Structure 1
Amino acid sequence: MKKTSKPKTTKTRTSKGYVYIIWNPAQWPSWITVGRSVNPRNRLGNYNRSDPYRGFAIFFALLFSDCITAEAETHKRLSMLGIPTAGEWFECPPDLAKEILKEVQLDSLDRGLRDERLPTCHDPPLDDPVR
Protein backbone atom coordinates (compact mmCIF):
# COMPACT_ATOMS: atom_id res chain seq x y z
CA MET A 1 0.00 0.00 0.00
CA LYS A 2 1.40 3.33 -1.06
CA LYS A 3 1.49 6.17 1.43
CA THR A 4 0.00 9.40 0.31
CA SER A 5 1.60 12.49 1.58
CA LYS A 6 -0.16 15.68 2.38
CA PRO A 7 0.32 18.43 -0.14
CA LYS A 8 2.93 20.90 0.99
CA THR A 9 1.55 24.22 2.00
CA THR A 10 3.62 27.19 1.14
CA LYS A 11 3.56 30.13 3.41
CA THR A 12 2.81 33.23 1.45
CA ARG A 13 4.77 36.19 2.61
CA THR A 14 2.80 39.36 2.55
CA SER A 15 4.54 42.66 2.27
CA LYS A 16 1.49 44.65 3.41
CA GLY A 17 2.12 46.11 6.83
CA TYR A 18 3.14 49.11 8.86
CA VAL A 19 6.35 51.06 8.92
CA TYR A 20 6.67 52.41 12.43
CA ILE A 21 8.74 54.82 14.48
CA ILE A 22 9.29 53.60 18.03
CA TRP A 23 11.23 55.48 20.68
CA ASN A 24 11.90 55.60 24.39
CA PRO A 25 11.89 59.32 25.26
CA ALA A 26 12.76 58.76 28.92
CA GLN A 27 15.92 56.71 28.35
CA TRP A 28 17.05 57.58 24.80
CA PRO A 29 15.28 60.78 23.73
CA SER A 30 17.48 61.33 20.68
CA TRP A 31 17.26 57.75 19.27
CA ILE A 32 14.37 56.23 17.32
CA THR A 33 13.90 52.97 15.52
CA VAL A 34 12.26 52.70 12.11
CA GLY A 35 11.02 49.21 11.42
CA ARG A 36 8.21 47.25 9.83
CA SER A 37 5.60 44.89 11.14
CA VAL A 38 2.17 43.55 10.36
CA ASN A 39 1.35 44.26 14.00
CA PRO A 40 3.38 47.17 15.45
CA ARG A 41 1.66 46.83 18.83
CA ASN A 42 3.12 43.35 19.20
CA ARG A 43 6.52 44.69 18.17
CA LEU A 44 6.16 47.45 20.77
CA GLY A 45 5.47 44.77 23.37
CA ASN A 46 8.74 43.07 22.44
CA TYR A 47 10.65 46.28 23.09
CA ASN A 48 8.86 46.94 26.36
CA ARG A 49 9.62 43.44 27.66
CA SER A 50 13.27 44.50 27.72
CA ASP A 51 12.51 47.72 29.65
CA PRO A 52 11.31 47.43 33.25
CA TYR A 53 9.74 50.90 32.97
CA ARG A 54 7.86 50.06 29.75
CA GLY A 55 9.02 53.37 28.31
CA PHE A 56 8.89 52.53 24.60
CA ALA A 57 6.04 54.04 22.59
CA ILE A 58 4.90 54.10 18.99
CA PHE A 59 5.63 57.63 17.85
CA PHE A 60 4.07 57.16 14.40
CA ALA A 61 3.10 54.35 12.03
CA LEU A 62 1.72 54.18 8.50
CA LEU A 63 0.25 51.28 6.56
CA PHE A 64 1.89 50.31 3.25
CA SER A 65 1.02 47.74 0.63
CA ASP A 66 4.78 47.03 0.49
CA CYS A 67 6.23 47.81 3.90
CA ILE A 68 9.53 46.10 3.06
CA THR A 69 10.30 48.62 0.32
CA ALA A 70 8.91 51.53 2.34
CA GLU A 71 11.10 50.68 5.34
CA ALA A 72 14.19 50.38 3.14
CA GLU A 73 13.43 53.70 1.44
CA THR A 74 12.91 55.44 4.80
CA HIS A 75 16.24 54.05 6.07
CA LYS A 76 17.94 55.20 2.86
CA ARG A 77 16.58 58.74 3.11
CA LEU A 78 17.56 59.05 6.77
CA SER A 79 21.06 57.79 5.97
CA MET A 80 21.38 60.21 3.04
CA LEU A 81 20.86 63.04 5.53
CA GLY A 82 23.95 61.85 7.39
CA ILE A 83 21.98 60.81 10.46
CA PRO A 84 23.98 58.49 12.74
CA THR A 85 22.63 54.96 12.62
CA ALA A 86 22.98 51.61 14.34
CA GLY A 87 20.99 49.07 12.32
CA GLU A 88 17.40 50.29 12.28
CA TRP A 89 18.12 52.79 15.08
CA PHE A 90 18.73 56.42 14.16
CA GLU A 91 19.91 59.36 16.23
CA CYS A 92 17.23 61.59 14.87
CA PRO A 93 14.38 63.80 16.08
CA PRO A 94 11.22 61.68 15.77
CA ASP A 95 9.38 64.50 13.99
CA LEU A 96 11.98 64.46 11.21
CA ALA A 97 11.62 60.70 10.77
CA LYS A 98 7.83 61.12 10.72
CA GLU A 99 8.06 63.68 7.91
CA ILE A 100 10.37 61.43 5.90
CA LEU A 101 8.03 58.47 6.39
CA LYS A 102 5.11 60.58 5.18
CA GLU A 103 7.16 61.65 2.13
CA VAL A 104 7.93 57.99 1.36
CA GLN A 105 4.22 57.27 1.42
CA LEU A 106 3.39 60.22 -0.81
CA ASP A 107 6.08 59.12 -3.26
CA SER A 108 4.77 55.54 -3.30
CA LEU A 109 1.57 54.20 -4.74
CA ASP A 110 0.00 54.00 -1.29
CA ARG A 111 -1.89 57.25 -1.32
CA GLY A 112 -5.11 55.32 -0.73
CA LEU A 113 -3.71 53.89 2.50
CA ARG A 114 -2.64 57.30 3.80
CA ASP A 115 -5.27 57.52 6.53
CA GLU A 116 -4.81 53.98 7.83
CA ARG A 117 -2.37 54.60 10.62
CA LEU A 118 -2.11 53.53 14.20
CA PRO A 119 -2.92 55.90 17.02
CA THR A 120 0.34 57.17 18.44
CA CYS A 121 1.55 58.69 21.66
CA HIS A 122 0.49 62.08 20.23
CA ASP A 123 -3.12 61.03 19.67
CA PRO A 124 -5.93 61.14 22.25
CA PRO A 125 -5.82 58.28 24.79
CA LEU A 126 -7.40 54.97 23.82
CA ASP A 127 -9.07 52.27 25.87
CA ASP A 128 -6.19 50.06 24.70
CA PRO A 129 -3.12 52.27 25.06
CA VAL A 130 -0.28 51.99 22.58
CA ARG A 131 2.39 51.79 25.32
Structure 2
Amino acid sequence: MSNLGGYQMIVTFVKGVGGPKKAGMMAIGAATALYAAGVASGPAVKDRIDILKEKFKSRSMRNEGQVRTFVVRTGACDDNGLKFEVDDQFLVLECDDDSVLIELLGSNSNPHIVSGLFLANISAYPAVDLGSEA
Protein backbone atom coordinates (compact mmCIF):
# COMPACT_ATOMS: atom_id res chain seq x y z
CA MET A 1 0.00 0.00 0.00
CA SER A 2 1.38 3.38 -0.91
CA ASN A 3 0.95 6.85 0.53
CA LEU A 4 -0.29 8.43 -2.67
CA GLY A 5 -3.59 9.48 -1.07
CA GLY A 6 -1.81 11.69 1.50
CA TYR A 7 0.55 13.03 -1.12
CA GLN A 8 -2.38 13.88 -3.41
CA MET A 9 -4.14 15.78 -0.58
CA ILE A 10 -1.00 17.82 0.15
CA VAL A 11 -0.41 18.63 -3.52
CA THR A 12 -4.06 19.66 -3.94
CA PHE A 13 -3.84 21.89 -0.85
CA VAL A 14 -0.57 23.52 -1.98
CA LYS A 15 -2.01 24.21 -5.42
CA GLY A 16 -5.19 25.59 -3.85
CA VAL A 17 -3.31 28.19 -1.76
CA GLY A 18 -1.23 29.37 -4.67
CA GLY A 19 1.95 27.29 -4.68
CA PRO A 20 4.66 26.00 -2.35
CA LYS A 21 5.99 29.44 -1.33
CA LYS A 22 2.58 30.60 -0.09
CA ALA A 23 1.94 27.24 1.62
CA GLY A 24 5.34 27.48 3.35
CA MET A 25 4.61 31.03 4.52
CA MET A 26 1.22 29.91 5.83
CA ALA A 27 2.88 27.06 7.77
CA ILE A 28 5.46 29.45 9.26
CA GLY A 29 2.70 31.93 10.14
CA ALA A 30 0.61 29.23 11.83
CA ALA A 31 3.62 27.98 13.81
CA THR A 32 4.43 31.54 14.91
CA ALA A 33 0.84 32.16 15.97
CA LEU A 34 0.75 28.93 17.98
CA TYR A 35 4.07 29.79 19.64
CA ALA A 36 2.84 33.29 20.52
CA ALA A 37 -0.39 31.87 21.95
CA GLY A 38 1.62 29.43 24.05
CA VAL A 39 3.90 32.17 25.39
CA ALA A 40 0.96 34.45 26.13
CA SER A 41 -1.02 31.77 27.97
CA GLY A 42 1.99 30.33 29.82
CA PRO A 43 1.61 32.36 33.04
CA ALA A 44 -2.13 31.62 33.20
CA VAL A 45 -1.50 27.90 32.72
CA LYS A 46 1.21 27.96 35.41
CA ASP A 47 -1.13 29.75 37.82
CA ARG A 48 -3.87 27.18 37.17
CA ILE A 49 -1.43 24.32 37.79
CA ASP A 50 -0.37 25.95 41.08
CA ILE A 51 -4.03 26.28 42.12
CA LEU A 52 -4.65 22.60 41.35
CA LYS A 53 -1.54 21.58 43.33
CA GLU A 54 -2.77 23.54 46.35
CA LYS A 55 -6.22 22.00 46.02
CA PHE A 56 -4.78 18.49 46.09
CA LYS A 57 -2.50 19.39 49.02
CA SER A 58 -5.51 20.58 51.01
CA ARG A 59 -7.28 17.28 50.35
CA SER A 60 -4.58 15.34 52.13
CA MET A 61 -4.25 15.06 55.87
CA ARG A 62 -4.99 18.24 57.79
CA ASN A 63 -1.73 18.02 59.74
CA GLU A 64 0.56 19.22 56.91
CA GLY A 65 -0.03 16.11 54.79
CA GLN A 66 1.74 13.72 57.16
CA VAL A 67 0.42 10.23 57.76
CA ARG A 68 -0.52 10.00 61.43
CA THR A 69 -1.34 7.10 63.72
CA PHE A 70 -4.31 7.32 66.09
CA VAL A 71 -5.29 5.04 68.96
CA VAL A 72 -8.91 4.01 69.51
CA ARG A 73 -10.16 5.18 72.94
CA THR A 74 -13.69 3.79 72.71
CA GLY A 75 -14.65 0.52 71.05
CA ALA A 76 -17.32 0.91 68.37
CA CYS A 77 -18.59 -0.35 65.03
CA ASP A 78 -19.10 2.00 62.07
CA ASP A 79 -22.05 2.01 59.64
CA ASN A 80 -20.27 -0.44 57.32
CA GLY A 81 -19.65 -3.01 60.07
CA LEU A 82 -15.97 -2.20 60.64
CA LYS A 83 -15.17 -2.97 64.30
CA PHE A 84 -12.82 -0.83 66.34
CA GLU A 85 -11.62 -2.21 69.67
CA VAL A 86 -10.02 -0.16 72.47
CA ASP A 87 -6.26 0.30 71.81
CA ASP A 88 -6.60 -0.53 68.09
CA GLN A 89 -4.45 1.76 65.94
CA PHE A 90 -5.20 3.23 62.53
CA LEU A 91 -3.28 5.34 60.01
CA VAL A 92 -5.00 8.21 58.25
CA LEU A 93 -3.89 8.03 54.62
CA GLU A 94 -6.15 10.63 52.97
CA CYS A 95 -9.19 12.71 53.79
CA ASP A 96 -11.75 14.69 51.83
CA ASP A 97 -14.43 16.53 53.81
CA ASP A 98 -15.85 13.88 56.16
CA SER A 99 -14.56 10.84 54.20
CA VAL A 100 -11.31 9.47 55.61
CA LEU A 101 -9.20 6.72 54.06
CA ILE A 102 -7.58 4.72 56.86
CA GLU A 103 -5.45 1.65 57.33
CA LEU A 104 -6.47 -0.32 60.40
CA LEU A 105 -3.23 -1.78 61.75
CA GLY A 106 -3.42 -5.54 62.13
CA SER A 107 -6.31 -5.90 59.68
CA ASN A 108 -5.92 -7.90 56.48
CA SER A 109 -8.77 -6.10 54.69
CA ASN A 110 -7.28 -2.61 54.33
CA PRO A 111 -7.90 0.20 53.40
CA HIS A 112 -11.24 1.44 54.73
CA ILE A 113 -13.26 4.61 54.19
CA VAL A 114 -14.71 5.90 57.44
CA SER A 115 -16.51 9.05 58.57
CA GLY A 116 -14.23 11.65 60.13
CA LEU A 117 -16.88 12.44 62.74
CA PHE A 118 -17.02 8.75 63.70
CA LEU A 119 -13.22 8.68 64.08
CA ALA A 120 -13.33 11.86 66.17
CA ASN A 121 -15.81 10.17 68.54
CA ILE A 122 -13.66 7.09 69.13
CA SER A 123 -10.13 8.56 68.99
CA ALA A 124 -8.10 11.77 69.06
CA TYR A 125 -8.71 12.32 65.34
CA PRO A 126 -9.52 16.03 64.79
CA ALA A 127 -13.17 16.55 63.90
CA VAL A 128 -14.16 18.51 60.80
CA ASP A 129 -16.68 21.34 61.03
CA LEU A 130 -18.64 20.69 57.83
CA GLY A 131 -21.07 23.52 58.55
CA SER A 132 -18.41 26.23 58.08
CA GLU A 133 -17.36 25.06 54.60
CA ALA A 134 -19.30 26.44 51.65
Alignment TM-score > 0.5, same fold = no
The structure whose RCO (Cα within 8 Å, separation 6+) is larger is: 1
Q: Give the TM-score normalised by the residue count of structure 2.
A: 0.28
Q: Give the TM-score normalised by the residue count of structure 1.
A: 0.29
Bigger Rg, which one: 2
**Structure with greater strand share of residues:** 1
**Structure with greater helix share of residues:** 2
